[in-house]
Structure 1
């Protein structure tokens, strides 16, 4: 009888152990214990009484001042920099774990243990290197630290758990790990961006300073030094030319008018005009003959009929000026009609003159 009782108790114990192991296997194959899985997907939601009728009398008008949104925005900024454990509360122990047939899950890590794990991850440089799943930088995306000190994108780890259907680290294959949200990658990315901005700005400032230095300080090389001073001289010439007036006709007319005014002033100071004597005219005529003037400077035609056989039909009178220049009488009169001022000036030397008519 004692043997039968012992065998019965052993059979009962084996049956209980088998049932406990079967229950544990069923629970372990479910996806509710994943750290990043949504625990509400497997639960049946009650869709009854979701939309309820609201009485208009119970509704009150609310003025939106924006203060509530500002406070929530500040809270969101604080929450973005806050680290927290992502795992839900540990599930209840199964019968197999209570009987000691299966090892129970590890207890949640303390803050000191998480600090040691994070320090180990920093020493390995996991946040500096890209994510081992997607091979991209962490940037400002949320990242997850595992209890095995490996770091991944939160979205990448969630997709990996859904694909494999179990909790296993993609790097070391550790099972039933714990997860914690950290922001080391975001901080390092911000520092990197700030360094790049500072480097670009400092490079721009140095390049601008060097260009200004090249414009003011001549180089030591002989060829570059010569080119430097040539450019400086060219710049000075361009500035001087830009200040000048290019209208030559206006410039020459101003010179003529100023000369005429000066001569008129001198003649007024000297008094009446002095008439030339016959001896003076002979000297002037001899000087004109020495110059061998053949054509009239105004009409470009011969002065005497003997100079050109075709001009025998014409016998224009020749005029001798006190400046020893010869002209046709009619050409000089026409020039005097179109000239300005009371006193006439020579078309060639621009001087006031006395004239004497010569017969050809």
Structure 2
């Protein structure tokens, strides 16, 4: 059963954490944190997301705070470095913050940049990592099929591990997968999982080779595990620029998967210039531990969001909670399908 809204609000704190460099067009990451019997949890959908989508993130946060996590089969998770759409000259500085990571995910197709910028960035990542490093690129669905084919061909010399969400639609993903099959580069889906009414459709239709799954957007650890099991494809567990509390949720998801073939996108706390714990879950030796961080009261106070932003998040919490209540009432279920976006 859902805990009461009053129970959640009693411990709710809203923080604004600065980033080391802009990412997704933002320089500060806002998040609402709250504590339950299992420890601290996080509700941090990006501010532009509508309430129906954001409510899945709240379902995940409630589950992590008030329900024991599934049993784990590993105590550390290998993670990738994340390289924003920076200039090639800034790549080394970014990667220095991810010590020991053998894999890097590189953002490409940034608005206002060119394919030449992407090629140079990826080539510099290859130079930094050396021939044994693994490079995956993420276009966030920004290319059409022809653009994707051209761009992937331009970057394939850097030996790509896979390309994540090169195009927006499932049909386009299936098309580009066919076109680049001769290159031997797998295609991964992210937005086509976490933003879809049916998150398994992209796998069912054979449009991709692997899935990127995230605990918060999919409604929680159990929801993501159910999606992974139904899809039957290899998965990469990733984060959404979470605080270390949200990263811990992702780490518990990754640790409970029966198989984990790829390094996970759970090293993004290294992109934050501040956190809510004195022991942030940043990569050490290329991995992070599977543990809940101890939230520091002084850091919560130091990075508390301005008053108007605190109220904005509390209002959002109330609206999203009402959606969860309504769905639970309508379906009589607390499974992940009950909490998919409308």
Name the TM-score class by shorter chain. Answer: under 0.3
From the two aligned structures, give the one with the greater strand fraction: 2
TM score, norm. by length of structure 2: 0.17
TM score, norm. by length of structure 1: 0.16
